[in-house]
Amino acid sequence: MVRSGVDSLRQTISDACRVLAAKGAVSGILGHVSARVDGGLLVRTRGPRERGLRHTTPEDIRLVDLDGQGELGEWTVPNELPIHTEVLRARPEVGAVVHAHPPALLACGLKGLPLRPIYGAFDIPGMRMAADGVPVYPRSVLIRRRDLAQEMLAAMGGKPVCLLRGHGVTVTGETVAEAVVRTLALETLARVTLQVGPDIPAVPDEDQAELPDLGGAFFHETQWRALVADLDG
């Protein structure tokens, strides 16, 4: 990847951290976003003047290899870097990873409330993600070692998301935009699930079949542009 592409991706990851903070999916200094690049990844690190994800700048996005070594200077990689590196090692289709601690997803995991397709046209991609199933990693541990990340991956299977019970969520995407929009869609579904309770029926199959496939270019990229624009609104 040429340098201009790396610099553009740094800005995108920086924006992603700020969007997640603005939407309440992360708070304070906890959570991180990464994207695959040739030979490694760009990842949100913690700097010498750390001010939290809401104030992330491109300078906080550092290039490292899959062993966490690289152009760090005074910055340090996340303790849970293995979440990112093991996903990228195992899943070649993944281009970006979000690890966040959204409060409604945390509450659903603790209550044992499954994320089901309880609404349709309100959020079609979110409904489809729920209909496909949201796996759960049951251990409330800090995933700071490769073996723990591999356990998480085993629970995740081939799905784009995994709820980490008592912890947070891991979300993947082909792009940073897709991973962020998926994270926010899951958190919205979790909030609604908490509000309406576990007995609301799922959207019937025939109604799900009526809902169009909006496609990533329309939904994820358009929604992403709106989310970034709101940062400056």
Local structure of residue 26 (DSSP, 8 states): S
Q: What amino acid is encoded at 149 in this protein? A: A
CA distance 138 to 155: 9
Torsion sign over Cα 202, 139, 85, 73: positive
Answer whether 25's CB lies under 8 Å from 9's CB.
no
CA distance 51 to 217: 33
Active site residues: 80
For the chain, the first-to-last Cα distance in angstroms comes to 32
Alpha-carbon 160 to chain mean position: 9
CA atoms within 13 A on the CB side of 217: 0
Cα three-residue angle 32-37-38, rounded to 5 degrees: 150
CA atoms within 13 A on the CB side of 170: 33
